[in-house]
Structure 1
Amino acid sequence: MSTTMPVLKEPVKKRKSSRRLLTVLFLLFIVILSVLFFNSSISKISEIKITGAVYASTGDIGQAANIKIGDSFFGTSAHAIENRIEKLSPIESVTVSKKFPGKVNIAVEEHKVVAFELSDQGEMTAILSNGAGVKAAPGESLADRPVLTGWDKDNPVLSQLTKQLSAISPSDLNDLSEIVPFPSKAYPDRIKMYTRTKFEVVTAVSVLQEKIKAINAVIETQEPGKITMLLADTYVPFDVATAENENSSEKDSTQ
């Protein structure tokens, strides 16, 4: 009597070990490729372009950015570079853009010039809207900005003045030639301004922006004289003002 033997099925080969090996090899390949990439010249900064700088030197901007040719392109973010550059006193805002491979563009916008100062040696300093003083650019003219005379650097009114000047249209400042401190008990921020059209103006920093239109209106319609723009506004032509000063001097001499 014959018996039939059951057919044995071949065991399915397990491929887990081979898949693991492929995964390890793939990851190893990625690691090697990454190491080669980050050590190649294509991953380095190859060009740094700075635009918009007049009073901040490219050297100062580059030093503040803390990047240089050959550094890793991915080593620092554009935002981090912007934050470092904005700490420079002439800089109002900065935009950093990175373009692969290797290009970094830095576009700065500086605080605008609101006035100038002249030293005893004749050196000209540009006063920016944030109160910072920087060396004037070559060929810069005094023609459309006032000169600040007699101001101490630690005078708190000076920073207020520069803020006021920055808020006023440049066309409204064209006639101002000189601004000097002229404080009083009632007005610690009082100033005296001289114009290119030979007017003398007494006002206060706190009301300058409010009064500048009225000051210019008098200058445009009247003969040179003394203008006072404080709580009360007055205008006296110089011939009358001179006569009043002489009368006052005579009275003083008889007392």
Structure 2
Amino acid sequence: MVKQLPVLKEKKVKKNTSRKLLLILLLLFVVILAVLFFRSSVSKISEIQITGNDMVAKEELILKSGLHVGDQFFGTSKGTIRDRIRELKAVEDVKIELQFPGVIHIDVQEFPTVAYQISQENGQIAGILSNGTNVLLQKDHILVEKPILTQWKSEDPLLAQLCKQLALIPDELLTDISEIIPDPTKAYPDRIKMYTRSQFEITTSISLLKDKVEYLNKVIETQQPGQITMLAADTYKPFDRVTSDIEQEKETTQ
């Protein structure tokens, strides 16, 4: 009797070896692409764009950012760039946008300018920001109608308080004020004197300025030039009456 031989099973080729080889080739390909990418001009910074700056020069902002054209595009984080630029006293906030390939856009938000100051030594004009920072104006800066601060010392803490108050007042309520000088007394250590372009002389205090400025504008719009006091009580005298009072005082003292 003839016995039937068993059917031999074909040996299956193991796929593990081929998968490992494919993975190695894939990783090698990725490494080669990465090397080629970081060596190419596509991976470099090609342009640094600055917007929003008015008081701080573009060159100063780029220098502070630590960025250079030709550096690696992904070499520095947006947070690091933002922190560097915010160290500038004139800068309130910064937004960074990476625009691939190669463009870094920096949008700067400065503290608003609330007044100007003229140096008595060289006549240079500086912008005074809402945080009290003093910034020399660039040559192409266009002056707008802001008060001139005179007789103020840069280290005076009342100067910073005044700047904060000015920043809280709408621009249209400040356009007529031409000059602000310190005029302290024992009763009002933060008292100030202001002069307007419409020939008024105002005495008030820094702490009361924001609340009193609307009254000031109503008087200016309806009355002839004179002296306005805005302290515990509000008073107004036209200059002809002020002159008359001064003459009467002279007569009584003679």
Q: What residue is the counterpart of 1:66 in the other structure?
A: 66
Q: Aligned pair 1:154/2:160, yes or no?
A: no
Cα distance, 1:222–1:140 mapped onto 2, change above 3 Å? farther
Q: What residue is the counterpart of 1:215 in the other structure?
A: 216
Q: What residue is the counterpart of 2:190 in the other structure?
A: 189
Q: What residue is the counterpart of 1:167 in the other structure?
A: 168
Q: What CA distance in whole angstroms lies between the structure 2 residues aligned with 1:45 and 1:36?
A: 16
Q: What residue is the counterpart of 2:45 in the other structure?
A: 45
Q: What CA distance in whole angstroms lies between the structure 2 residues aligned with 1:18 and 1:142?
A: 74
Larger displacement relative to structure 2 (190-199 or 132-141): 132-141
Cα distance, 1:143–1:59 mapped onto 2, change above 3 Å? closer
Q: Aligned pair 1:19/2:6, yes or no?
A: no
Q: What residue is the counterpart of 1:88 in the other structure?
A: 88
Cα distance, 1:171–1:186 mapped onto 2, change above 3 Å? same
Q: Deviations over 1:66-92 (max 9, x none)?
A: 111111111223343223222222223
Report % sequence identity.
48
2:176 counterpart letter in structure 1: D
Cα distance, 1:162–1:31 mapped onto 2, change above 3 Å? same
Residues 54 and 141 in structure 2, CA contact (< 8 A), matched pair in contact too: no
Q: Which aligned segments of 4 or more residues in structure 1 are displaced greater than 6 angstroms? A: none
Larger displacement relative to structure 2 (159-168 or 234-243): 234-243
Q: What CA distance in whole angstroms lies between the structure 2 residues aligned with 1:198 and 1:140?
A: 27
Cα distance, 1:52–1:150 mapped onto 2, change above 3 Å? same
Q: What CA distance in whole angstroms lies between the structure 2 residues aligned with 1:53 and 1:143?
A: 16
TM-superposed CA distance for 1:250, in Å, is 5.4
Q: What CA distance in whole angstroms lies between the structure 1 residues aligned with 2:27 and 2:103?
A: 30
Aligned alpha-carbon RMSD (Å): 2.0
Q: What residue is the counterpart of 2:100 in the other structure?
A: 100
Q: Which runs of 5+ in 2 are unaligned?
A: none
Q: Which runs of 5+ in 1 are unaligned?
A: none
Q: What residue is the counterpart of 1:6 in the other structure?
A: 6
Query: How many residue pairs get matched?
Result: 253
Larger displacement relative to structure 2 (6-15 or 145-154): 6-15
Q: What CA distance in whole angstroms lies between the structure 2 residues aligned with 1:92 and 1:213?
A: 28
TM-superposed CA distance for 1:240, in Å, is 2.2
Matched position secondary structure for 1:218:
helix
Q: What CA distance in whole angstroms lies between the structure 2 residues aligned with 1:129 and 1:244?
A: 39
Q: What residue is the counterpart of 2:236 in the other structure?
A: 235
Q: What CA distance in whole angstroms lies between the structure 1 residues aligned with 2:35 and 2:144?
A: 59
1:94 counterpart letter in structure 2: V
Q: What residue is the counterpart of 2:139 in the other structure?
A: 138
Cα distance, 1:61–1:155 mapped onto 2, change above 3 Å? same
Matched position secondary structure for 1:171:
helix
Matched position secondary structure for 1:54:
coil
Matched position secondary structure for 1:3:
coil
2:111 counterpart letter in structure 1: H
Q: What CA distance in whole angstroms lies between the structure 1 residues aligned with 2:89 and 2:48?
A: 21
Q: What CA distance in whole angstroms lies between the structure 2 residues aligned with 1:10 and 1:138?
A: 88
User: TM-score under structure 2 normalisation?
Assistant: 0.91
Q: What residue is the counterpart of 2:202 in the other structure?
A: 201
Cα distance, 1:54–1:194 mapped onto 2, change above 3 Å? same
